[in-house]
Structure 1
């Protein structure tokens, strides 16, 4: 549904150039909820603005639903610009700060894109009320934005973004200004709309919890580049994946002589007593240094850091045992007090260990 090829955006001023996007290749399948995550300055917002050509790329292509948007004329003031305007009607966008018109009612805000599309007054009103009902705000049609909570304002923004019956919904940090409970409710709404309407949703975020809550696939952006991309399940099962480590940061180092092993449980393996089986089979005192479990993309996933005593041969046999049972196994380079994730808080050696 969305493909970018060698997408580059360079901002030029009199005395310098800034490369915001550096050859970004992205592939989003129809019906996915796709998260693009990265820190401030990674290029996420520039990417999303290039996807609907609010920013025109310096080079590369953007294809949405089989149409190369970068090949369409940029001039919106005359007839040649119509193909781009028409293509944009199939791409809805919601913003971090809502961008509602304070002088219009809730219904009036949702009707705005319908006015631009040329719909008559009755048709605009009918459709706006349908969309407000869809996002749970039918009773707020006559209210003004100043009378709404942050979560309600964002729901209005979502209803407005759906006015053109888009196939793609772009979300630019749409939950970062909201409290955690409201964030969860807006993310549930986006997932429901994705399923009910068959929408492809691409969301920009710097919050790993957003990826955990709703994303089928994700990409990590750093320095204007996509450094990792894939389904969340595949990334979690990929040894050395930065995204997997960021989603489930683990800390802890063993006593001298132990070997640290990181395990990823997914699907059926999350309910199996694998560690107790390992301990009995090899007569090992396994130390659990850290663990985390959550629901990611609707599937239960867990990560655990353990320490194995014994020599290299015993460790190799234990690792083979774990892999045979469907776990993803990594042997990270760990030093005392060094977390896997740069953002994860360090813990003291042995803190939280269970034997």
Structure 2
């Protein structure tokens, strides 16, 4: 449904150059909840803005629902209607809601429908249906100032669905919300994904968001995708960065003849008495140094760091038993075993030139059909 190939984007300002995207290739299947995670400055927001061409990449291609958007002329071009038409199939949710304070909740949802040319009766009926879908039918006459943050974001989601999109883009949509509200909004996105068959690409810096709702994920650093794939496959891949960060475990290594092992439980192995079986079968002492368990995609998944008596060579049969039972087994290096993982260096946020900032503002208004909350 969404394919990016070798995307590059460089911002230039006051003699400086910042590479926001450096050859980013991504494949999002139809109907997936796909998370892109990374630290500030990793290029996440630039990537999602390139997917709907609010930012036009310097090179590379973007294809959505079989149509190459990067081959279409910009909206200021005489033939730019084709890009605007293609964008109606892509909804976007923003971190700061972007609601018009002078319009009611229903009025905010109706705004993109006005641009699409629907009649007043059609707009009203569709807006009320969308508000009912996101659980805000009884707030149709309220104004944004009367809503909580979670309710404002639900209005933003309803507005993003106004054009009957096949793709929904979410740029840090829950980062301004408290944990309980975040869970409810994420559940709403998951429900919409399943009920409407939406493909959802969400940007986040929170591993809990990926863990809660995503089918697949990509990790970005310094403008590059360093790891990507379905979560169940990543969790079963030894050495996976995303698996380690989704389920971090730590524990100091004792001196002496010992073996530290990181094991990942997934699938049927998550409910098995693996540790007690290991101790009985191989007559070895097992110490649990750390553990993290949770539910991913409706399945229990977790990681555990254990310590076995004896050297790795001596414990080779025990490690083989763990693998035979369907667990992913790793012997962490000393740095990881000490409970510290080197953090990637921060990349400064890109600075827009006046020209690109103006173009982005113009196209954002068109794509979302609403300026920042507070505008009149």
Q: Which runs of 5+ in 1 are unaligned?
A: 344-355
The answer on 1:52 being equivalent to 2:52 is: yes
Question: Contact conserved, 1:76 with 1:85, CA < 8 A, in 2?
Answer: no
C-alpha displacement of 1:314: 2.3
Question: What is the aligned partner in structure 1 of residue 140 from structure 2?
Answer: 141
Partner Cα separation in structure 1 for residue 300 and residue 116 of structure 2: 43
Question: What is the aligned partner in structure 2 of residue 204 from structure 1?
Answer: 203
Question: What is the aligned partner in structure 2 of residue 329 from structure 1?
Answer: 329
Partner Cα separation in structure 2 for residue 70 and residue 62 of structure 1: 6
Question: What is the aligned partner in structure 2 of residue 126 from structure 1?
Answer: 125
Question: What is the aligned partner in structure 2 of residue 283 from structure 1?
Answer: 283
Partner Cα separation in structure 1 for residue 29 and residue 125 of structure 2: 32
Superimposed CA distance per residue, residues 204-224 of structure 1 (whole angstroms, 9 cap, x where no aligned partner):
000000001000000000000
Partner Cα separation in structure 2 for residue 112 and residue 77 of structure 1: 24
Partner Cα separation in structure 1 for residue 335 and residue 160 of structure 2: 48
Superimposed CA distance per residue, residues 183-226 of structure 1 (whole angstroms, 9 cap, x where no aligned partner):
00000000000000000000000000000100000000000000
Partner Cα separation in structure 2 for residue 337 and residue 311 of structure 1: 15
* 1:144-223 matched pairs, under 5 angstroms: 144-223=143-222
Partner Cα separation in structure 2 for residue 313 and residue 251 of structure 1: 23
Runs of 4+ in 1 over 6 A off after TM superposition: none
More RCO (CA 8 Å, sep 6+): 2
Superimposed CA distance per residue, residues 235-266 of structure 1 (whole angstroms, 9 cap, x where no aligned partner):
11111111111101111123222111000001
Question: What is the aligned partner in structure 2 of residue 353 from structure 1?
Answer: none
C-alpha displacement of 1:62: 0.3
The answer on 1:302 being equivalent to 2:287 is: no
Question: Contact conserved, 2:253 with 2:338, CA < 8 A, in 1?
Answer: no
Superimposed CA distance per residue, residues 254-295 of structure 1 (whole angstroms, 9 cap, x where no aligned partner):
322211100000111011111111101111010100011000
Partner Cα separation in structure 1 for residue 276 and residue 75 of structure 2: 66
Between 94-103 and 313-322, report the one with greater CA deviation: 313-322
Between 166-175 and 273-282, report the one with greater CA deviation: 273-282
Question: Contact conserved, 2:335 with 2:341, CA < 8 A, in 1?
Answer: no
Q: Judging changes above 3 Å, is the alpha-carbon distance between structure 1 residues 41 and 274 closer, same or farther for their aligned structure 2 residues?
A: same
C-alpha displacement of 1:14: 4.0
C-alpha displacement of 1:335: 5.0
Q: Judging changes above 3 Å, is the alpha-carbon distance between structure 1 residues 114 and 335 closer, same or farther for their aligned structure 2 residues?
A: closer
Question: Contact conserved, 2:292 with 2:304, CA < 8 A, in 1?
Answer: yes
Q: Counterpart of 2:269 in 1: which secondary structure?
A: helix
Question: Contact conserved, 1:7 with 1:57, CA < 8 A, in 2?
Answer: yes
Question: Contact conserved, 2:37 with 2:220, CA < 8 A, in 1?
Answer: yes
Question: What is the aligned partner in structure 2 of residue 348 from structure 1?
Answer: none
Q: Judging changes above 3 Å, is the alpha-carbon distance between structure 1 residues 340 and 237 closer, same or farther for their aligned structure 2 residues?
A: farther
Q: Which runs of 5+ in 2 are unaligned?
A: 344-376
